[in-house]
Amino acid sequence: MSDQTSFEVQIYSPRWGHEDSYKIKFEREQMRIEFINKTAVCSWVESRDPKWSGNDENIGNPLEKMLETDSIYPPTVFIQALESAWRAWRDGKLADQTCQEEVRQLCEWVNEVSRSKPKTAFWQSVF
């Protein structure tokens, strides 16, 4: 296992109607997700749940808030799933390339959810 792995994922934004590149970096002590000028960081805390910080951390999970800005509403298990991939990578259960592919598959699921969002005027006004 390497000390870090970095890659990009494509996430579809219903707000803009196209995919954007999000940079993800896994290190032993933190996972970092960046998009333009926004960052969400998940830090390792021994014997506890990881701690999130960054974009709008005072009003919710920074990654969720970052995605919501572009009308992306992932399934509720998304954050936990991303943390699980990071943990598996940290523990040597997923090699760099395998981990990257698993996270890309997770993001593809989010893209399918985003693309199938209701498109009536009512729902467009709600989210």
- Torsional sign, CA 125, 66, 24, 50: negative
Domains of the chain, residue spans = 4-119
Mean pLDDT within 48-64:
95
**109 vs 124: CA distance, rounded Å:** 21
- Torsional sign, CA 30, 15, 73, 9: negative
Question: Which pLDDT score, from 0 to 100, does residue 59 have?
Answer: 94
Mean pLDDT within 50-67:
95
Give backbone dihedrals phi and psi of 18, rounded to 5 degrees, phi first.
-150, 170
Binned at pLDDT 50, 70 and 90, residue 19 comes out as: very high
With beta carbons less than 8 A apart as the criterion, state whether 39 and 57 touch: no
Question: Which pLDDT score, from 0 to 100, does residue 55 have?
Answer: 87
Mean pLDDT within 25-30:
98
Question: Which pLDDT score, from 0 to 100, does residue 1 have?
Answer: 67
% of the chain beyond a pLDDT of 70 = 99
* Predicted confidence (pLDDT) per residue in 3-18, tens digit: 999 999 999 999 999 9
pLDDT at residue 99 above 70? yes
* Predicted confidence (pLDDT) per residue in 32-54, tens digit: 999 999 999 999 999 999 999 99
For the domain spanning 4-119, the CATH number is 3.30.2210.10
> pTM score, two decimals?
0.94
Question: Which pLDDT score, from 0 to 100, does residue 124 have?
Answer: 87
Residues 6+ apart with CB under 8 A from 62: 39, 40, 41, 52, 53, 54, 55, 56
